[in-house]
Amino acid sequence: MSDKKVIGILGGMGPLATADLFQKITLHTAASCDQDHPRVCIDSNTNISDRTAALLHGGADPVPEMVKSAQRLESIGADLLIMPCNTAHYFLPRLQAMTEIPFLSILTAAAEACKAQFPGMTVGILATKGTLSAQLYQNALGEADVPYLTPETKEQDALMRVIYDGVKAGKGPDAYRADLLTVVEHMMTRGAGVFLLGCTELPLAAEAVGLTVPVVDPTAELAKAAIRFCGFRVRAK
């Protein structure tokens, strides 16, 4: 397996999302023994400041700590880097310029999955206010010629409660079920046929509440892209 590449997870944004990405790499790898899995290096750096706060409210710049993590992962053998945080991808151009090894983009992986798995369907983007304000998924889906719609202001507020007051705060699904289901129902009435879970806490929330509508999980799509990049096989469904 020495010819296989090593995955580096630039994590801590947040810790549960980091654990979810590692689990999905493991579950999606076609493996019959330990040695069939890719080597994965993880730096769950919780010193990285909040990305949405930096984007919208002049909060601390997260890039210096992100660079430290990237360089640390590179120093221990990572051949590529992935980040389980959608909003963090706003800072990717700066980050990539300061590192020698490539990043795989969660945005690209998710947009390509929307196009391939749900052709012609309108994608409802569920994400933080930072991701939405930065137009990250609007741009990625637009480049892939995928129709989309975004949450209205009250729906964005509800999603922020799900993400920050629910999952990140360690609350169970009863704390955010009503908010998440209401947003989904309202966006479906406006034409959304599939939902892009565009914050890495949202796949966790969707699973916890038992969301039954069609979804694209960017964390899972990034995991599969990393598996392929490193020369391993993705497990068949």
Which tens digit of pLDDT belongs to each residue from 186-237?
Answer: 999 999 999 999 999 999 999 999 999 999 999 999 999 999 999 999 999 7
pTM reported for the whole predicted model: 0.94
- Give the residue numbers annotated as catalytic, written as ranges: 85, 199
pLDDT for the residue 1 = 44
With a cut of 50, say whether residue 50 has pLDDT above it: yes
The per-residue DSSP string of the chain comes to -TTS--EEEEE-SSHHHHHHHHHHHHHHB--SSGGGSPPEEEEE-TTSPPHHHHHHH----SHHHHHHHHHHHHHTT-SEEE-S-SGGGGGHHHHHHT-SSPBPPHHHHHHHHHHHHSTTPPEEEE--HHHHHTTHHHHHHHHTT--EE---HHHHHHHHIIIIIIITTT--GGGTHHHHHHHHHHHHHTT--EEEE-STTHHHHHHHHT--S-EE-HHHHHHHHHHHHTT--BPP-
Ranges of CATH 3.40.50.1860 domains, the chain: 7-105+220-229, 107-218
CATH class of the structural domain 107-218: alpha beta
CATH of domain 7-105+220-229: 3.40.50.1860
pLDDT digits (tens, 9 = 90+) for 122-165: 999 999 999 999 999 999 999 999 999 999 999 999 999 999 99
With a cut of 80, say whether residue 2 has pLDDT above it: no
